[in-house]
Amino acid sequence: MRRHLRLYARGDWQKNILIKVLLVLACILSTGCGRGGASIDPIADVIFYTHLSDQRKPLDPRSKFFIGERVRAQISLDTALVKDDNLNVWHIQWIRPDGRKRYKKQITHAPGESRTSLSSSIKLHARHGSGKYLLQVYYFRLLVHEERFNVLAAPADQS
């Protein structure tokens, strides 16, 4: 907390706000940020999976899952667009097939904290239904990336 207060006491907060405003303006000027034209997308890749290896790598990357499974997302960042010397705030939002929000997670990286990926997961329940789910990634509350995956009804018992 003291480090956070010292950051603002030195006047760096003005520089951080200016950088955020410039990022938003650059996105707006680049024809709509994901609305058919060029956009600023700090996400290099999104991998959906259910299990990790001992080396913390996804074992079974895929885009189809079954009710009852835990879906995990590993979101790789484009380090050229994400600056380590600024505060970085991310929101990861999981959207159900009916368009309602299923889960939202905020991740904050302090200045100097180097990150190359983000992660989040949800458990698929029958009450939320099957269909096309959507993962949305926000950078400073600006939608920068969307990725879809399919959820199918639980498979019949394979005994």
The pLDDT tens digits of the residues spanning 79-88 come to 776 777 788 8
Q: Grade residue 24 by pLDDT with cuts at 50, 70 and 90.
A: low
| More confident of the two residues 5 and 109 | 109
Same domain, 28 and 61: no
Q: Is residue 47 part of a domain?
A: yes
158 inside domain: no
Model pTM?
A: 0.69
> Which residue range is the domain that position 29 belongs to?
1-40
What is the rounded distance in angstroms from the CA atom of residue 98 to the CA atom of residue 77?
A: 28
* H-run or E-run covering 135: strand 131-139
Co-location of 33 and 76 in the same domain: no
Residues 71 and 110 in one domain: yes
Q: Please report the sign of the dihedral spanned by the C-alpha atoms of residue 132, residue 137, residue 142, residue 144.
A: negative
Whether residue 81 sits in one domain with residue 12: no
| Residue 133, domain member (yes or no) | yes
Q: Are residues 117 and 130 in the same domain?
A: yes
User: What is the mean pLDDT of the segment spanning 56-69?
Assistant: 91
Confidence of residue 91 (pLDDT cuts 50, 70, 90): very high
Contact 145, 118 (CB under 8 A): no
Contact 76, 70 (CB under 8 A): no
Q: Is residue 157 part of a domain?
A: no
Question: If pLDDT is split at 50, 70 and 90, which confidence band does 11 have?
Answer: low
Number of domains making up the chain? 2
Contacts for 156 with CB less than 8 Å, ≥ 6 apart: none
Nearest to 28 by CA among 19, 18, 38: 38
Binned at pLDDT 50, 70 and 90, residue 105 comes out as very high
